[in-house]
Amino acid sequence: MREPTDPAEPLQASDAVASIDPSATSEAVPVVEAAAPQGFGALTRRGILSTAGAALAGGALLLRGARAEAQPASPSRPEAPKRASYAGAPPGMPHRDYQPVVVPNGTTLPWKLVDGVKVFHLVAEEVEHEFAPGLKALCWGYNGQVHGPTIEVVEGDRVRFYVTNRLSAPTTVHWHGILLPSGMDGVGGLNQKPIDPGETFRYEFTFRQSGMGMYHSHHDEMTQIAMGMVGLIVIHPRHPTGPKVDKDFALMLHEWRIDAGTRRPNPNEMTDFNMLTLNAKAFPATAPLVVRKGERVRIRLGNLGPMDHHPIHLHGYHFRVTETDAGRIPESAQWPETTVLVPVGSTRTVEFVADVPGDWAMHCHMTHHVMNQMGHAFPNVIGMKPGGLDAKVRKLLPGYMTMGQAGMGDMGEMGMPVPENSIPMSGGEGKHGYITMGGMFTVLKVREHTNGQEDPGWYENPPGTQATTATAAELQRDGIEVPKPS
Ligand SMILES: [Cu+2]
């Protein structure tokens, strides 16, 4: 294993063997020096043990450690490590050792390989971010994005993260849920000095787990998390168990307070958040999850919002909860659900086979979390008949209109004048009219024919499978009497 370098040692670009764009197709997988034999990722540890050690140049150290675990140590061998060691495991490569995740509305952080270590660079900086058409805000994120790009690695990967601070305030990065040395844990003041504006810090460790983690600032958390400084970490298993999935989506849940007409999230908010997002987008700006009928789908959900748990509900399917932030749940302990609660500071992963075509809603089931910039000071006027009230009030307040007698559903499409840079209560157009939801809402689009990437448009329901107005003949046939309005 390469020794950690001096923090002052600059990154040598010439050391790089290959730069990796994780979104590249399988043809683009670069050849890496001293790469392990193809198919290494598919071998089990038992398989490795029964393989001639000499053939596994890159895995020699792993072999030694693993064999020492299985056999009593002899004087001619070094002492076996007490815990599983990945030393010498070759870096996991996209399309060989793992199928890259899909990050709707987001990206995956590129990396390069330097002497067998995956080297990443995060730049903490202010970012102008568009939550949905009509609403932009100055947030804090990483590498020009809110949230930061998803970090994707393989169990056993040695990684080096350079973190450059281009904010006006000190920051740190904490690797949430990740097993690592204390000095790399990123809590400002406790584990390290905060990274001052203009400074670059180095974090280095080996991922010795699989599952899903997250990263976020651990300095002035209330401000920096509320401003958006969070991201996802996907750690693919070195030896996967369970059925292989065809689509692997990663979504970060978050909440914000952005008052209508303002240009920055308000980090002082304690309870009353009014923007709820998936990968920092509010419906109708959330990209749909597009899959082909029959594909096995995994959806990873992380929640680093300030205060709220999110019960994420998927229509049309029963899924299995297969992972928490501490790793894969044994198959015998996985449970079926249609809603999974994702608590603050946690990740949950679900899997299912997408065998029914259609447009299927997926959303937080807390009703206030599917409304954008809703005000909570509205009087309850459900069922109220304003009569001549509006005309009277308009003498004092021109343009006044009593709203909400039939609920909030119509407000988004009324075309009412709204404050600049705001999307109050808006939802989005659907195939059959206005979808009265915003915020933490997206659509799973399952199709017989799709390239699996581009939005295929709205689903055309086959004849006889579409809810429609009941005819008088149908009502009569089935003996249904509709009460007359009183
Ligand atoms: Cu919610």
Residues of the chain above pLDDT 90, percent: 63
HSE, CB side, 13 Å, CA atoms: give it for residue 57. 7
Distance, in Å, from the CA atom of 203 to the CA atom of 462, rounded to the nearest integer, reads 54
- Give the distance (Å) from ligand 1 centre to CA of residue 169: 30
79, pLDDT greater than 80? no
202, pLDDT greater than 90? yes
* pLDDT tens per residue across span 110-158: 999 999 999 999 999 999 999 998 899 999 999 999 999 999 999 999 9
- Give the distance (Å) from ligand 1 centre to CA of residue 310: 4
- Give the distance (Å) from ligand 1 centre to CA of residue 330: 27
- Give the distance (Å) from ligand 1 centre to CA of residue 95: 34
- Residue 110 has what pLDDT? 98
- Give the distance (Å) from ligand 1 centre to CA of residue 369: 5
Phi, psi of 231 (to 5 degrees): -160, 170
* pLDDT tens per residue across span 458-467: 999 999 999 9
- Residue 309 has what pLDDT? 97
Q: What is the pTM of this model?
A: 0.78
The residue whose two tokens read 């001619």 is: 76
- Give the distance (Å) from ligand 1 centre to CA of residue 233: 21
- Give the distance (Å) from ligand 1 centre to CA of residue 309: 6
390 close to 381: Cβ distance less than 8 angstroms: no
- Residue 287 has what pLDDT? 97
Distance, in Å, from the CA atom of 438 to the CA atom of 363, rounded to the nearest integer, reads 9
Distance, in Å, from the CA atom of 137 to the CA atom of 94, rounded to the nearest integer, reads 34
- Residue 380 has what pLDDT? 61
* Mean pLDDT over each residue of the chain, to the nearest integer: 82
Q: Which two tokens stand for residue 216?
A: 């976020």
- Give the distance (Å) from ligand 1 centre to CA of residue 118: 35
Q: Which two tokens stand for residue 264?
A: 């920055």
Q: Which helix (H) or strand (E) holds 125?
A: strand 117-132
- Residue 425 has what pLDDT? 66
Give the chain's length: 486
- Give the distance (Å) from ligand 1 centre to CA of residue 350: 17
Q: What is the 3-state secondary structure (H, E, C) of 258-301?
A: CCCCCCCCCCCCCCCCCEEEECCECECCCCCEEEECCCEEEEEE
- Residue 358 has what pLDDT? 98
- Give the distance (Å) from ligand 1 centre to CA of residue 56: 48
- Give the distance (Å) from ligand 1 centre to CA of residue 460: 29
- Give the distance (Å) from ligand 1 centre to CA of residue 211: 23
Q: Which helix (H) or strand (E) holds 357?
A: none
In this structure, the strands spanning 358-364 and 158-165 are unpaired
Residue 473 to residues 60, 118, 463, 470: CA-CA distances in angstroms? 78, 69, 19, 8
More confident residue, 402 or 193: 193
Residue 445 to residues 422, 427, 471: CA-CA distances in angstroms? 28, 18, 30
DSSP state string for 224-251: HHHTT-EEEEEEE-SS--SPPPSEEEEE
- Give the distance (Å) from ligand 1 centre to CA of residue 119: 35
Residue 224 to residues 73, 257, 278, 476: CA-CA distances in angstroms? 49, 13, 18, 62
Which amino acid makes up residue 449? H
- Residue 436 has what pLDDT? 86
Which amino acid makes up residue 453? Q
More confident residue, 271 or 486: 271
- Give the distance (Å) from ligand 1 centre to CA of residue 340: 11
Averaged pLDDT for residues 306-330: 95
- Residue 408 has what pLDDT? 56
- Give the distance (Å) from ligand 1 centre to CA of residue 253: 8
Q: Closest Cα partner for 40 from 155, 207, 178, 159?
A: 155
From the CA atom positions of the chain, what is the Rg in Å?
A: 26
Q: Closest Cα partner for 110 from 20, 205, 173?
A: 20
At residue 174 the predicted structure's pLDDT band, cuts being 50, 70 and 90, is very high
Residues within 5 Å of ion ligand 1, judged at the Cβ atom: 310, 364, 366, 369
Averaged pLDDT for residues 475-485: 94
- Give the distance (Å) from ligand 1 centre to CA of residue 437: 12
* pLDDT tens per residue across span 340-380: 999 999 999 999 999 999 999 999 999 889 888 765 555 56
Q: Closest Cα partner for 115 from 14, 234, 235?
A: 14
